[in-house]
Amino acid sequence: MTNFSSALREWSDAALALNSLSGFGFTRSRERVLSLERKEVWYIGLKFKINLAVDFSSGEVGFRFLTPDGGDDIPSPMSALIYFSSNSDELIQEIGACKSLADQALLLCKQFEINKWIYICGKWIDDHQFLDAIQKTDRWIASLDRMPIFLEYERYLSALNRDKKNFPCCT
């Protein structure tokens, strides 16, 4: 029962933190219990959706980011910030300081406040250089003969755009 209650607590804390997305034009859906094993809530924005779900059987809680129609998965907005932002090292440190999913949700909201383009403009979602960098980073992580070191994915992704050029403008 501990696994169930801790997963539900983590999900509830993250959902509460994500409620501040309403200040950025996101609408929260009603919570849905899909089965005795899964519960979810959606945060629907103009350019993408965020799904927060808990699987009670495994105790896993996590985010998914999807296109506005909900059909395709997209990279995390945090990955876009790491890739395009000139202060990615600082952002990676902040990610590393997160102790829970709620902390990650609060950091996402903080970054929305600082980097409004991430939720106003959807061009980063279709940016080919960014998507290629995500695929390259995924392949690199998969090729490792060991478990990746904490935040290694984020550092590698950031290094693929050292000059921080080709920021997807929203004009």
Structural domain boundaries of the chain? Answer: 2-159
Burial label, 26 (beta-carbon count in 10 A; 0-12, 13-18, 19+)? buried
In eight-state DSSP terms, residue 108 is H
b/e map 99-135, b = 16+ CB within 10 Å: eebbbbbbbbbebbeebebbbeebebbebeebeebbe
Across the chain, what does the average pLDDT equal? 90
pLDDT digits (tens, 9 = 90+) for 51-75: 999 998 888 999 999 998 878 999 9
pLDDT digits (tens, 9 = 90+) for 17-42: 999 999 999 999 999 998 878 999 99
What token pair was written down for 150? 């904490």
Give the number of other Cβ atoms within 10 Å of residue 171's Cβ.
Answer: 4
- Specify the pLDDT at position 139: 95
- Specify the pLDDT at position 169: 63
Q: What is the rounded radius of gyration, in angstroms, for the C-alpha atoms of the chain? A: 16
CA distance 15 to 44: 13
Query: Does the pLDDT of residue 77 top 80, yes or no?
Result: yes
Q: Which helix (H) or strand (E) holds 160?
A: none
The count of C-alpha atoms lying within 13 angstroms of the C-alpha of 18, restricted to the half-sphere facing its C-beta, is 27
Query: Does the pLDDT of residue 171 top 80, yes or no?
Result: no
- What is the rounded average pLDDT of the residues 69-86? 91
Query: Does the pLDDT of residue 46 top 60, yes or no?
Result: yes
Higher pLDDT, 64 or 145: 64
Angle at 137 between CA 136 and CA 142, to 5 degrees: 100
pLDDT tier at 5, thresholds 50, 70, 90? confident
pTM: 0.87
